[in-house]
A and B are shown apart, each in its own frame.
Chain A
Amino acid sequence: MTVLEQPGSSRNKSSLAGPPPAWQPRVDPTPLLPDAEPYRLLGTDAAARLDSGLLTRLYTELVRGRRYNAQATALTRQGRLAVYPSSTGQEACEVAAALALEDRDWLFPSYRDTLAAVARGLDPVQALTLLRGDWHNGYDPQEHRIAPLCTPLATQLPHAVGLAHAARLKGDEVVALAMVGDGGTSEGDFHEALNFAALWQAPVVFLVQNNGFAISVPLAKQTAAPSLAHKAVGYGMPGRLVDGNDAPAMHEVLTEAVARARRGGGPTLIEAVTYRIEAHTNADDATRYRSDAEVETWQAHDPIALLERELAARDLLTDAFVGATRDGAEQLAADLRERMNADPEVDPMDLFTHVFAEQTSQLRAQAAQLRAELDAESAGHTEDAAGTDGSAEEARP
């Protein structure tokens, strides 16, 4: 007999009293539940109310984003980047994340969200420092209000909660947008961040990009929940499900969640249903775990193509506009290519500069050791140079 089969184990049949009458559900779960289908605007009647200026802005950013992804991937083949996790196919999520925020807000990206940082205005070369490997982070997070690209999964989410909470304690109307993938929702930090955010009613928006796979593991092996957006209910915050390839829908849902957080309405969990068109990174072989047919289905639901249909229906997809957009994207890529093809300057002494505010005696000693090694190395180079010098050859017996 299992526990479940024991007499009286079912609450309904139990003759024992229930919880004392003081017990009340804390929140009515119904308004927190996500819709059954991902929210869409493109291709629906509601698309008619969309502002043309917003649509052209989104289109420009999507095209730039795709070109950026292609260029960064090309740079890995040339050995200029150690690795690049492409967000091709997910550009609408990245762009919406950037455009939904005001300057005073903070973005907490995962390692795949370089594009969101660039769309927010970060210098593309600075955004790639981690992936090039000249340092772990190439920009001042305070200046751009973009946390460092986070490599451990979901650990940046509690940071976003803490920052948003601190801002509110100080009376600043700052919102934090935290990005995570579907795989990251299985991590403990995801749970703890959502729980804290809801308890504190922190002005945070959690954006889950459900791109189908955590490296090779599909969502079906990641969660048994009806959707990732449903997880919100358990924490007492609203969950929203949105088509991650529908740029205006993404923009609208995120903008609403950000506005709600700003006016004290608390956190929101948004699941963007999208797809990773490229492999996990350039080092991954996606053919081992998914079919070409599946990829093609999603390519037919491409965020740029979806938006182009709406622009064409409005006669906005003119040759001049498309050409100017492409030129802008090419310029971005050319600039990135050119600047990334220069070897970055790295100072070995930086290894010791930023461990502690005040250098320890141990680190001072190690810095002196490295300094001596570098001096010996450069002296050796000078000797080598002298050795290959013509006059030195003549001087030999």
Chain B
Amino acid sequence: MTTTAPATARKPATMAQALTRALRDAMADDPSVHVMGEDVGTLGGVFRVTDGLAKEFGEDRCTDTALAEAGILGTAVGMAMYGLRPVVEMQFDAFAYPAFEQLISHVARMRNRTRGALTMPLTIRIPYGGGIGGVEHHSDSSEAYYLATPGLQVVTPATVEDAYGLLRAAIASDDPVVFLEPKRLYWSKADWSPDAPTEVAPLGRARIRRRGSSATLITYGPSLPVCMEAAEAAGAEGWDLEVVDLRSLMPFDDETVCASVRRTGRAVVVHESNGFGGPGGEIAARITERCFHHLEAPVLRVAGFDIPYPPPMLERHHLPGVDRILDTVARLQWESDWTEGRGE
């Protein structure tokens, strides 16, 4: 559904700027869109994503709330019940935890509970992930918690263009979206025209970011640039890697993922959050169930270690990097030989 407008000036823009633009355009298009959260008004958010919105749309539309995540989300539920489209900011991944009861007991199931009579057109923006040198509780990757809750859509952009398009789509959705913003990509830049995505793309479509033939890297959010770099580096070792950016973890695009894995015969899932109980396990299981006869090797995972998020001076050892991805890709070959009885 995404269309490209006639050539408009493409200038360098950061992901944070694209997000701001998405909020601004959504608020301008639809008076029921309200932005709320701690520091989103006068300050423009600690990452400046809501910069200028209070000034442009007034404090009733972009509201600095009291410091209370359950209260922010709980009142947003009531606002949505009265026909508004709240966009809530949780400031940092781990700060969202006090709001979990509202999210899980009400936001995720209000449509189901009321047989569609009450819907929750809510977007919950959560900056997430590490790599910015944050101290404890400022770098968690919480996506598995959200994925484990039926009724929530879980979306995460990895590019400047997607930051705009996916946030517009999330706000337009009649169901709640946990919108995970990879905070280490906030300042990533791209030549981008804000006018380009004139239509809102549907949620739940993965995108192939790099075509390849010998294995598929499946990733999302902050790990996409890492995977792209790994794919380039792998060429020197004779690997032609395909990279799939999920963009949306729920709905999950089985079709694109499985079509890619059937072509390449090998798959590695890459994400920052811990591997045990993380999204990679579910993705690997889905691929195995649907593509087993096409697989030349087991589906492998490159994930953060199964530890509480480490302090900033150690996080580079925890986060999946290019070398760890390449080492894992190399194992695909070994595993393949082993599977065929040639590895002994």
Which A residues are within 8 Å of any B CB, using their own CB? 135-137, 140-143, 147-148, 152, 155, 157-167, 169-170, 176, 188-189, 192-193, 195-196, 199, 350, 353-357, 360-362
Q: Of B71, B111, B251, which contacts A158 at CB under 8 A? A: B71
Q: Are A356 and B75 closer than 8 Å at their CB atoms?
A: no
Q: Which residues of B contact A189 (CB under 8 A)?
A: 70-71, 74, 101-102
Contact A162 B74, CB 8 Å, known A195-B66, A362-B254: yes
- Nearest 7 A/B pairs, CB to CB: A162-B78, A158-B74, A192-B71, A162-B75, A163-B78, A166-B82, A159-B78
CA distance A142 to B68 in the complex (A): 27
CA distance A192 to B75 in the complex (A): 9
Q: Of A140, A143, A176, A196, which contacts B66 at CB under 8 A? A: A196
CA distance A159 to B111 in the complex (A): 15
Q: Are B117 and A165 closer than 8 Å at their CB atoms?
A: no
Chain B interfacial residues counted at CB < 8 A: 47
- In this assembly, does B79 line the interface, its C-beta being within 8 Å of a C-beta of chain A? yes
Q: Which residues of B contact A164 (CB under 8 A)?
A: 78
Q: Are A356 and B153 closer than 8 Å at their CB atoms?
A: yes
Q: Of B70, B75, B84, which contacts A188 at CB under 8 A? A: B70
Q: Which residues of B contact A163 (CB under 8 A)?
A: 78-79, 81-82
Q: Which residues of A contact B101 (CB under 8 A)?
A: 152, 155, 189
Q: Of A141, A195, A356, which contacts B68 at CB under 8 A? A: A195
Q: Which residues of A contact B339 (CB under 8 A)?
A: none
Q: Are A362 and B252 closer than 8 Å at their CB atoms?
A: yes
* Closest A residue, CB atoms, query B69: A192
- Distance (Å) between the CB of A188 and the closest chain B CB? 6
- In this assembly, does B12 line the interface, its C-beta being within 8 Å of a C-beta of chain A? no
Q: Which residues of B contact A192 (CB under 8 A)?
A: 66, 68, 70-71, 74
Q: Are A147 and B81 closer than 8 Å at their CB atoms?
A: yes
CA distance A167 to B251 in the complex (A): 32
* Closest B residue, CB atoms, query A108: B78
- Distance (Å) between the CB of A243 and the closest chain B CB? 30
- In this assembly, does B151 line the interface, its C-beta being within 8 Å of a C-beta of chain A? yes
Q: Of B84, B105, B115, which contacts A354 at CB under 8 A? A: B115
- In this assembly, does B3 line the interface, its C-beta being within 8 Å of a C-beta of chain A? no
- Considering only residues 106-164 of chain B, those with a C-beta below 8 Å from chain A are 106, 109-119, 150-151, 153
Q: Are B77 and A158 closer than 8 Å at their CB atoms?
A: yes
Contact A166 B84, CB 8 Å, known A158-B78, A357-B175: yes
Q: Are B111 and A356 closer than 8 Å at their CB atoms?
A: yes
CA distance A33 to B71 in the complex (A): 24
CA distance A157 to B86 in the complex (A): 17
Q: Are A158 and B70 closer than 8 Å at their CB atoms?
A: yes
Q: Are B66 and A137 closer than 8 Å at their CB atoms?
A: no
Q: Are A135 and B66 closer than 8 Å at their CB atoms?
A: no
Q: Are A361 and B60 closer than 8 Å at their CB atoms?
A: no
* Closest B residue, CB atoms, query A159: B78
Given contacts A158-B78, A162-B75, A165-B79, 18 further A-B contacts (CB under 8 A): A141-B81, A141-B114, A141-B117, A142-B117, A158-B74, A158-B102, A162-B74, A162-B79, A166-B78, A166-B83, A169-B84, A189-B74, A192-B71, A192-B74, A357-B173, A360-B204, A360-B250, A362-B251
Listed by A's residue number, 25 A-B pairs whose Cβ atoms lie within 8 Å are: A135-B115, A136-B109, A140-B114, A140-B117, A155-B74, A159-B74, A159-B77, A159-B81, A161-B78, A162-B77, A163-B78, A164-B78, A170-B82, A193-B71, A195-B71, A196-B65, A353-B116, A354-B114, A356-B151, A356-B251, A357-B119, A357-B173, A361-B251, A361-B254, A362-B252
CA distance A147 to B82 in the complex (A): 11
Q: Which residues of A contact B76 (CB under 8 A)?
A: 162
CA distance A193 to B66 in the complex (A): 11
CA distance A135 to B109 in the complex (A): 12
> Which of A140, A163, A192, A195: most chain B CB closer than 10 A?
A192
* Closest B residue, CB atoms, query A194: B71
Q: Are A361 and B70 closer than 8 Å at their CB atoms?
A: no
Q: Are B68 and A196 closer than 8 Å at their CB atoms?
A: yes
Q: Which residues of B contact A161 (CB under 8 A)?
A: 74-75, 78
Q: Are B79 and A166 closer than 8 Å at their CB atoms?
A: yes
> Which of B60, B65, B77, B80: most chain A CB closer than 10 A?
B77
* Closest A residue, CB atoms, query B106: A155
Contact A357 B174, CB 8 Å, known A159-B81, A165-B79: yes
> Which of A147, A158, A162: most chain B CB closer than 10 A?
A162
- In this assembly, does B277 line the interface, its C-beta being within 8 Å of a C-beta of chain A? no
Q: Which residues of B contact A137 (CB under 8 A)?
A: 113-115
- Distance (Å) between the CB of B267 and the closest chain A CB? 19
* Closest A residue, CB atoms, query B36: A162
CA distance A161 to B119 in the complex (A): 17
CA distance A166 to B76 in the complex (A): 9
- In this assembly, does B255 line the interface, its C-beta being within 8 Å of a C-beta of chain A? yes
- Distance (Å) between the CB of B8 and the closest chain A CB? 31
* Closest B residue, CB atoms, query A199: B66
* Closest B residue, CB atoms, query A153: B101
> Which of B73, B86, B109, B113: most chain A CB closer than 10 A?
B113
Q: Which residues of A contact B105 (CB under 8 A)?
A: 152, 155
- In this assembly, does B98 line the interface, its C-beta being within 8 Å of a C-beta of chain A? yes
Q: Are A158 and B66 closer than 8 Å at their CB atoms?
A: no
